[in-house]
A and B are shown apart, each in its own frame.
Chain A
């Protein structure tokens, strides 16, 4: 079956512009996660959705970052007024249900470059 998909695969934007990153989870998966993979920083957890709600947004790096999920499916991560330090690969994952007994399936990521 189809896995987690993300779009765009690559995004180059100018500093100060807004960007939207999209994640399509596996059909039927109720939990959705966003991570950021920065060079030299490893993988950083950003936010998690259970259904359409995000219980904890404290992992978002700044108030320029926001995320939403609609219809219990597609999620969008928005970065406003992008900065060069936002350059990274943004990974999305989904799992059948919340909780770590359920495997998180990762998408291929969106590589964001802020110039």
Chain B
């Protein structure tokens, strides 16, 4: 069974500093990996996803993530934090493309609340 662990329920960084949100997964097959962002009172928005191919994935708003199979990690980074980045971030995994399900739901981590200090 697949699972996701996000280290740190809250992460605080200064504006302009590096953002690093950690995500480790457990999967019995090559996973599909996702990062979503949720702004207050809004739905989830896809930041980026890894399916196959290049292990460094670039997403919207300057975020990127690197799939490291040996570390079973998919950490999210951004070189310079903006105040507008303050939100809840969710890492998610799915094996369904390999299990034949084709469209099962995603398994999400519990989320990391990113706080940006001025």
A contacts, CB < 8 Å to B = 3-4, 31, 33, 35, 40-48, 50, 55-56, 59, 91, 93, 95, 98-101, 103-109
- Once the chains bind, are B43 and A98 in contact (CB under 8 Å)? no
- Once the chains bind, are A33 and B102 in contact (CB under 8 Å)? no
CB distance from B42 to the nearest CB of A (A): 6
Q: List 21 A-B contacts (CB under 8 A).
A: A43-B90, A43-B106, A43-B108, A45-B104, A45-B106, A45-B107, A47-B105, A48-B103, A48-B105, A50-B103, A91-B43, A91-B44, A95-B103, A100-B32, A100-B103, A103-B46, A103-B49, A105-B43, A106-B44, A106-B45, A107-B43
Residue of A nearest to B42 (CB): A108
* Residues of the B chain whose Cβ atoms lie less than 8 Å from the Cβ of A44: 108
* Residues of the A chain whose Cβ atoms lie less than 8 Å from the Cβ of B109: 42
CB distance from B32 to the nearest CB of A (A): 5
- Select A100's contact among B36, B44, B96, beta carbons within 8 Å: B96
Beyond the given A45-B105, A100-B96, please list 7 additional residue pairs across the A-B interface where CB-CB is below 8 A.
Answer: A41-B110, A44-B108, A48-B105, A98-B103, A100-B32, A100-B106, A104-B46
- Once the chains bind, are B108 and A56 in contact (CB under 8 Å)? no
Residue from the set B90, B108, B110 with the largest chain A CB neighbour count within 10 Å: B108
* Residues of the A chain whose Cβ atoms lie less than 8 Å from the Cβ of B101: 55-56
- Once the chains bind, are A99 and B111 in contact (CB under 8 Å)? no
* Residues of the A chain whose Cβ atoms lie less than 8 Å from the Cβ of B97: 99-101
- B92-103 vs A, CB cutoff 8 Å, 1 = contact: the mask equals 101011000111
* Residues of the B chain whose Cβ atoms lie less than 8 Å from the Cβ of A59: 105
CB distance from B38 to the nearest CB of A (A): 8
Residue of B nearest to A108 (CB): B43
- Once the chains bind, are A42 and B43 in contact (CB under 8 Å)? no
- Select A104's contact among B42, B102, B106, beta carbons within 8 Å: B106
Residue of B nearest to A111 (CB): B41
Q: In the bound complex, how far is the Cα of B107 from the Cα of A41, in angstroms?
A: 12
* Residues of the B chain whose Cβ atoms lie less than 8 Å from the Cβ of A48: 103-105
